[in-house]
């Protein structure tokens, strides 16, 4: 892809009214644009990151036995009245009356909808277990939106739901989802802490939060600087106490961003909505449920918040908008541009996503924008090195620069990526 034909509106200055570095950089790098408080448009660069995150989630959810579907955003309030959550979530629900006089809401989550769907199709133990998931937009009328896309009124979530015949089945599916979440966050370049948590309005007996330590966030954890142990900031694990794992370090309180939450719901929704099945003995029983959420759009902010430097974003490799950026510094020079195009084609044949900055801009502007958008590797084609038949390969994260023969650039870069 060529920059001159792309919509990547970068900004030099920090936008007014922004406090989180992830918010500032997502705006400056042209990932998102705020329409109004808590509502954001995803621009092409931001959408590329979003799609890469979604692909990681799909791969891991499918591997864990999940099946993807897509549920409605518009939901009749009667479903929520069955569980009583029309009252417990009343403050954040966006409700309205349609032309037929029905009270509807824009789904803040989908437990009621998925339970209603499954109860109409699953009647026998032979149809269980089943795990269904979606990647869908949620709507919550947040009183206080914060930190850009970290807490927004409209956001993207992956929500999954498991349906089992008994508690043993639920525990098995819960562990599968727990392990899948661990892999998802690792692939996204995020070092998470898992903590037991309160189930809150979601309900159920057991739940765990997946959090990443960051300068912003609305949660807190305690972490040991000596061994890396982390947990919820609650008794008996309080700041200043000896680490329960290594005993050498003392626990330090850290602000954290919640990225995911998994719940053993049990019978809350199946009892309320009469989601029943016939067991092998012919007795009718409620389906045992679990639910598992990831803030997909929030992952973008968390990745930027924990992967940046003074010059911009430093993307983890698997979720970067592009794998490599090619910077031809003299775009009016035929030899330079022929080489840039040739390298682009060769790298794309190797399965890489490539951005060529073919703008007729100063070298300084190109370097600054390259640092800002944070592509993991760049190939710089300059007049001096090209005279020697060479190009420069730079690692965005480490700053290391390798000068190689232009004929060896593709092989060298592929070798670096494999490492």
Give domain status of residue 317, yes or no.
no
pLDDT of residue 270: 97
52-82: pLDDT as tens digits: 999 999 999 999 999 999 999 999 999 999 9
Higher pLDDT, 245 or 333: 333
- Do 298 and 338 lie in one domain? The reply is no
The answer to whether 265 and 204 have CB atoms below 8 angstroms apart is yes
Does the residue 232 lie in any domain?
Answer: no
Note whether 103 and 129 are same-domain residues.
Answer: yes
Query: Which residues, 6 or more positions from 66, have their beta carbon under 8 angstroms from its beta carbon?
Result: 131, 132, 133, 160
Co-location of 273 and 372 in the same domain = no
Q: What is the CATH number of the domain that holds 392?
A: 3.40.50.800
User: Both 87 and 207 in a single domain?
Assistant: yes
Beta bridge partners of 75: 105
Burial class (CB in 10 A: 0-12, 13-18, 19+), 229: middle
Asked whether residue 235 is assigned to any structural domain, the reply reads no
Token output for 26: 């997502």
CATH number at residue 263: 3.30.930.10
Nearest-angstrom CA–CA distance, 16 and 125: 57
Q: Is 186 inside any structural domain?
A: yes
315 is a domain residue: no
Considering the chain, what percentage of its residues have pLDDT values greater than 90? 86
User: The tokens of 374 are what?
Assistant: 């944070």
131 and 26 within one domain: yes
Indicate if 179 and 290 belong to the same structural domain: yes
DSSP conformation class of 77: H
Residues 332, 276, single domain; the answer is no
Summarised one tens digit per residue, pLDDT across range 166-178 is: 999 999 999 999 9
pLDDT tens digits for 349-362? 999 999 999 999 99
Beta strands 219-223; 206-213: pairing state = unpaired
Query: In which residue are the tokens 């330590």 written?
Result: 213
| 407 within domain boundaries | yes
Beta strands 324-328 and 354-356 are parallel
Alpha-carbon gap, residue 311 to 24, rounded angstroms: 12
pLDDT for res 229: 76
Is residue 129 included in any domain, yes or no?
A: yes
- State whether 285 and 326 are in the same domain: no
What is the domain range of residue 292? Answer: 3-218+253-309
Are 287 and 364 members of one domain? no
**Whether residue 401 is found in the same domain as residue 301:** no
Q: What's the mean pLDDT in 7-18?
A: 95
Structural element, H or E, at residue 301: helix 296-306
Sign of dihedral through CA atoms 110, 116, 118, 124? Answer: positive
Q: Which residues pair with 137 in a beta bridge?
A: 156
Cβ-proximal residues to 185 (8 Å cutoff; 6+ apart), any chain: 191, 192, 210, 212, 259, 260
Q: What is the mean pLDDT of residues 157-163?
A: 98
230 assigned to some structural domain: no
Q: How many domains does the chain have?
A: 2
Q: What is the mean pLDDT of the chain?
A: 94
**Residue 218: its pLDDT value, please?**
84
Are residues 177 and 137 part of one domain? yes
Note the pLDDT tens digit of each residue in 386-417.
999 999 999 999 999 999 999 999 999 999 99
pLDDT tens profile 204-241 = 778 999 999 998 988 888 888 888 777 766 655 678 88
Q: Are residues 163 and 297 both part of a single domain?
A: yes
Query: In the prediction, which pLDDT does 399 show?
Result: 96
């Amino acid at each position: 892809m060529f920059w001159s034909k792309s919509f990547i509106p970068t900004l030099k200055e920090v936008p007014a009214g922004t406090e989180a570095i992830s918010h500032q950089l997502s705006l400056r790098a042209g990932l998102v644009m705020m329409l109004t408080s808590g509502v954001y448009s995803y621009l092409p660069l931001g959408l590329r990151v979003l799609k890469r995150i979604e692909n990681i989630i799909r791969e891991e959810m499918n591997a864990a036995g999940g099946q993807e579907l897509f549920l409605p955003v518009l939901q009749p309030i009667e479903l929520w009245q069955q569980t009583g959550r029309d009252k417990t979530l009343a403050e954040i629900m966006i409700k309205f009356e349609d032309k037929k006089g029905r009270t509807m809401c824009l789904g803040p989550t989908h437990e009621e909808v998925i339970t209603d769907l499954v109860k109409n199709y699953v009647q026998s133990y032979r149809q269980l277990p089943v795990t269904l998931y979606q990647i869908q937009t949620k709507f919550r009328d947040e009183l206080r939106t914060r930190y850009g896309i970290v807490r927004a009124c409209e956001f993207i979530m992956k929500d999954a739901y498991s349906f089992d015949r008994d508690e043993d089945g639920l525990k098995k599916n819960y562990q599968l989802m727990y392990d899948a979440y661990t892999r998802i966050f690792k692939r996204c370049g995020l070092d998470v802490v898992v903590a037991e948590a309160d189930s809150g309005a979601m309900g159920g007996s057991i739940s765990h939060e997946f959090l990443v330590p960051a300068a912003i966030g609305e949660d807190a954890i305690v972490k040991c600087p000596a061994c890396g142990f982390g947990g919820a900031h609650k008794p008996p694990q309080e700041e200043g106490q000896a680490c329960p794992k290594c005993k050498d370090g003392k626990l330090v309180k850290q602000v954290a961003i919640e990225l995911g939450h998994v719940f053993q719901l049990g019978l809350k929704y199946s009892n309320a909505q009469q989601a029943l099945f016939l067991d092998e003995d012919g007795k009718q029983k409620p389906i045992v449920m679990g639910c598992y959420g990831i803030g997909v759009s929030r992952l973008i902010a968390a990745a930027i918040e924990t992967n940046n430097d003074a010059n911009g974003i430093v993307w983890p490799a698997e979720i970067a908008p592009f794998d490599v950026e090619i910077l031809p510094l003299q775009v009016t020079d035929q030899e330079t541009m022929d080489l840039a195009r040739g390298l682009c084609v060769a790298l794309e044949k190797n399965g890489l996503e490539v951005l060529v900055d073919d703008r007729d801009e100063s070298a300084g502007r190109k370097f600054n924008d390259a640092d800002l958008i944070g592509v993991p590797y760049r190939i710089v084609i300059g007049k001096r090195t090209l005279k020697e038949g060479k190009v420069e390969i730079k690692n965005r994260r480490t700053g290391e620069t390798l000068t190689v023969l232009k004929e060896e650039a593709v092989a060298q870069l592929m070798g670096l990526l494999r490492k």
